[in-house]
Amino acid sequence: MSGIMDMITQQLGSSMVDQMASKLGGNSDGIKRASAMAVPMLIEALKRNAGSTKGAEALAGALDKNHSDGGILGNLGGLLGGSSMQNGGKILGHVFGGKQDNLAQQLGKATGLGGKGAGDLMSMLAPMVMGALGKAKQQSGSGVSGLQDLLRQEQNTIQRRQPKQMGMIQGMLDSDGDGDVDMSDILKKGSGLLSGFFKR
């Protein structure tokens, strides 16, 4: 069974990255750098949200209803469409809550995408992460507790690959959401995060 990050990496080839850059008005390098940070951040936030039984049940219900087969992963053009991005924005609101805008602003500043560009990119990536998680859940036949285990395993995999960067991402999510989050330090030290994420 493929890991969530591995499924997403398979989708984010050079063609897809170029299309995302064209739609967002950024460059491919900025898209890669932002994606390499945003995807682990989404996975960590989902793990936290599913930490309680109630949260895990809500996430499992959303996956079963809208993301059970990972179909979005086979429809790359759909990821760039308005409806998918609208759904992605709703996912971000649930996952990050009041931190959503601040995280997008700081990611945009650190990568040169700007706050709107980073926010739109995160809205593209969120359905992809949910689709990969839904597919992994279906493949494993996981229930609610199994879903929690899936997310813990994925977080542990990222932690093993890039412990310093994951620690910084966890620190960002622990912040109160009002202050300035310095993502530039993660990106400076995150060449390994980038190469690990996009290694084919």
Question: d(Cα 36, Cα 163) in Å, to the nearest integer?
Answer: 14
Residues 6+ apart with CB under 8 A from 22: none
Q: Specify the DSSP class assigned to residue 112.
A: T
The pLDDT of residue 135: 85
Read off the pTM.
0.83
pLDDT of residue 75: 64
**pLDDT for the residue numbered 32:** 85
Q: Phi-psi bin for 132: left (phi > 0), alpha (psi -120 to 50), beta?
A: alpha
Q: Is the dihedral of CA 1, 157, 43, 109 positive or negative?
A: negative
State the pLDDT at residue 42.
Answer: 92
The confidence score (pLDDT) of residue 1 equals 43
pLDDT for the residue 171: 79
Sign of CA dihedral 83, 24, 97, 55: positive
Return the pLDDT at 183. 63
Q: Which mean pLDDT values do the consecutive 10-residue runs of the chain (200 residues) have?
A: 75 83 84 87 91 89 72 62 79 88 86 89 90 85 85 87 77 64 57 50
Amino acid at 28: S
> pLDDT value at position 81?
66
